[in-house]
């Protein structure tokens, strides 16, 4: 690795599996000290033990402001500060027709996906603003930039994450704090596997299904959005804020090659010559 995050301190929510675990391992390999914040105590603690002295685990429910504040405070007490906050924790949430979605299911989905990101930004800013530096990142989704790619509550929440990223960046830029997001397309994780196959452990079938529908013909892995997060977290992105980086194999460009990209070049509607 290249030490792109050497001596930086990161808090990553939802770090016990999927994209969060991929980001935790990658950030650590690039020199960061990492606080893994997740409700999954067994897997999260195991990853922290595997990473060693530059990692800590803390049980964190992102719907609890006290839990998020505690994760940020652990970064400060254990490693001396906070340079990177990654709001990644997520659920699929409420599914089904909007005519039948229960209010409590809607509220729970937004509490995890949107309010959790809000509180992560809030408490990261609490530490970063006095230091006049930092990078706050949230994991959005292609469902946050287009309709029809996810359930209603999930789509609304992820659109909210994209909007909150822009709004928070407009305030915090003056304090030297950058706020960005990554919007992954279909990625092989336990959550996606459950949605695609009904079996959270069936990654191979999930990989095949995603690859079959991918414009690039390949399935995304947790490392793909993790590399996007790495770039935005690093000093290489010092001039980037308020941005949502799509990591989706071109899904949101239309996902297919239209007929007018093939065949001889011409101008549609041009007058005939000769």
Alpha helices by DSSP H, the chain? 18-29, 41-51, 65-79, 103-110, 116-131, 152-172, 190-197, 203-212, 223-233
CB 165 within 8 A of CB 242: yes
Q: Catalytic residue, from 154, 227, 231, 239: name it.
A: 154
Helix/strand/coil for 3:
coil
Q: Per 3-state DSSP, what percentage of the chain is helix, strand, and coil (rounded to 5)?
A: 50, 15, 35
Catalytic residue list contains 239? no
Q: What is the H or E stretch that residue 38 is in?
A: strand 33-38
Helix/strand/coil for 181:
strand
CA-nearest of 219, 215, 218, 216 to 203 is 219
Active site residues: 154
């Amino acid at each position: 690795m290249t030490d792109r995050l050497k001596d930086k301190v990161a808090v990553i929510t939802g770090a016990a599996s999927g994209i969060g675990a991929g980001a935790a391992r990658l950030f650590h390999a690039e020199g960061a000290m990492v606080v893994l914040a997740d409700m999954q105590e067994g897997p999260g603690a195991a990853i922290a033990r595997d990473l060693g002295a530059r990692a800590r685990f803390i049980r964190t429910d992102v719907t609890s402001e006290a839990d998020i504040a505690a994760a940020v405070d652990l970064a400060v007490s254990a490693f001396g500060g906070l340079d990177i906050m990654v709001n990644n924790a997520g659920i699929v949430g409420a599914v089904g027709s909007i005519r039948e979605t229960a209010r409590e299911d809607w509220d729970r989905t937004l509490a995890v996906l949107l309010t959790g990101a809000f509180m992560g930004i809030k408490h990261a800013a609490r530490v970063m603003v006095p230091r006049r530096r930092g990078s706050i990142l949230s994991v959005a989704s292609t469902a946050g930039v287009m309709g029809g790619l996810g359930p209603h509550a999930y789509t609304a929440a992820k659109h909210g994450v994209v909007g909150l990223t822009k709004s928070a960046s407009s305030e915090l830029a003056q304090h030297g704090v950058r706020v960005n997001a990554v919007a992954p397309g279909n990625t092989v994780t336990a959550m996606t596997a459950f949605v695609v196959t009904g079996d959270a452990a069936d990654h191979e079938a999930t990989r095949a299904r995603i690859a079959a529908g991918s414009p690039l013909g390949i399935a995304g892995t947790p490392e793909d959005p993790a590399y996007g997060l790495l770039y935005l977290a690093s000093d290489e992105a010092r001039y980037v804020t308020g941005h949502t980086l799509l990591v989706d194999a071109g899904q949101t460009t239309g996902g297919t090659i239209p007929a007018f990209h093939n065949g001889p070049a011409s101008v549609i509607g041009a007058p005939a010559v000769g």
